[in-house]
């Protein structure tokens, strides 16, 4: 079985082994695959592992041996599923592998704004505490999370994990989700109520026609001035210009994003220089343990496919 690993560098910088993949067939590994090299790098492979490589109809039809696409990711919007179905190509993703890691990143953002640890560390290192008149110099406002309201958009595995952590901090949790859920520990609300009542809003929804640009001037208008916006889902869930405008005029208190509309970040991104805005380079999913789990599940997906009982398949 010939296997092409198209984007090894997006999963490993040499710290995660692909041995489990190599044990399954004849493997050709590429650090990255530019768009103009996709067909060449796939070659005569029957199985492909990719992350963000776009498999359009033209690409798929130009790879006649291709029978299986394994995503090293949960999202699959880069794959033309309709054409895959037509051509009999199985597509499998890796769901829920990064739940704990992403939830952890969300709370690192929340605690950044609530506890101001980095600001106080800088204050101390600059000699501020040495010059202090009192033993406790609370020069920056800090807040308790207890009693604050966390609004969660989307209530899949990550949304539920974030809710559980929030409840450990004694936060009130309200949720907006397109799919009805049974969970008496949170309150399900409409979007307007979520935006108007939340002290922190965090997005954990897939990117669809309904969620594209969901966080925008029309929804941000309902926010409290003290509200913080967090996005670790998909960049396009946020209208970046609208968010930058809201930050710069003080409509909201802050924002933290791990994903952007264009990745890597564009020099023209409107959030560059926006007030009280933290941006990390799409690393919420990337702890070592998480990436090791990702490769393990991707290998298990291939094994299941080869055994005739594919798992974690995705369709239109």
Active site residue 20: no
Residue 102, classed as helix, strand or coil, is helix
CA 186 – CA 164 distance, rounded (Å): 10
Active site residue 263: yes
Backbone φ and ψ for 30, nearest 5 degrees, come out as: -120, 135
Choosing from 160, 234, 291, 293, the catalytic residue is 234
DSSP label of 205? -
Give catalytic status of residue 112 as yes or no. Answer: no
Cα separation, 175 vs 201, whole angstroms: 10
User: b/e per residue, 75-96, with b = 16+ CB within 10 A?
Assistant: bbeebbbebbeeeebbbbbbbe
**Distance of alpha carbon 96 from alpha carbon 156, whole angstroms:** 9
Q: 38, 97, 68, 65: which is closest to 302 by C-alpha?
A: 68
DSSP E strands, the chain: 2-5, 26-29, 47-50, 68-71, 90-92, 149-153, 172-176, 187-188, 200-203, 228-231, 254-257, 277-279
Active-site residue identified among 29, 61, 282, 300 = 282
The separation between CA 115 and the C-alpha centre of its own chain, rounded to angstroms, equals 24
Out of 40, 57, 262, 263, pick the active-site residue: 263
Measuring CA to CA, which residue among 258, 147, 274, 118 is closest to residue 202? 258
Read off the DSSP letter of residue 171: -
Q: What is the largest CA-CA distance in the chain?
A: 75
Distance CA 33, CA 53 (A): 7
Residues annotated as part of the active site:
234, 263, 282
């Amino acid at each position: 079985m010939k296997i092409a690993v198209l984007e090894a560098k997006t999963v490993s910088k040499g710290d995660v082994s692909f041995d489990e993949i190599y044990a399954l067939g004849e493997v050709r590994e590429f650090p990255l695959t530019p768009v103009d090299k996709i067909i060449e790098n796939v070659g005569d492979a029957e199985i492909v592992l990719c992350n963000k490589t776009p498999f359009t109809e033209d690409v798929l039809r130009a790879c006649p041996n291709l029978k299986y696409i394994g995503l090293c990711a949960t999202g699959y919007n880069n794959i033309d599923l309709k054409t895959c179905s037509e051509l009999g190509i199985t597509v499998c993703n890796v769901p829920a592998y990064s739940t704990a890691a992403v939830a952890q990143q969300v709370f690192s953002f929340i605690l950044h704004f609530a506890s101001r640890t980095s600001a106080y560390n800088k204050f101390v290192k600059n000699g501020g505490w040495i010059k202090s008149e009192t033993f406790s110099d609370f020069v920056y406002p800090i807040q308790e999370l207890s009693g604050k309201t966390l609004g969660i958009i989307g209530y899949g595995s990550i949304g539920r994990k974030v809710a559980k952590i929030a409840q450990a901090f004694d936060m009130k949790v309200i949720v907006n989700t397109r799919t009805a859920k049974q969970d008496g520990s949170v309150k399900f609300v409409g979007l307007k109520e979520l935006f108007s009542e939340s002290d922190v809003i965090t997005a954990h929804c897939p990117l669809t026609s309904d969620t594209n640009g969901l966080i925008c001037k029309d929804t941000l208008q309902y926010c409290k001035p003290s509200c913080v916006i967090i996005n670790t889902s998909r960049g396009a869930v946020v209208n970046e210009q609208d968010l930058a405008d809201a930050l710069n005029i003080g409509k909201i208190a802050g924002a933290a994003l791990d994903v952007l509309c264009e990745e890597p970040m564009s020099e023209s991104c409107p959030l560059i220089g926006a007030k009280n805005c933290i941006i990390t380079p799409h690393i919420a999913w990337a702890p070592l343990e998480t990436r090791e789990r990702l490769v393990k599940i991707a290998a298990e997906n291939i094994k299941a496919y080869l055994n005739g009982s594919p798992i974690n398949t995705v369709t239109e």
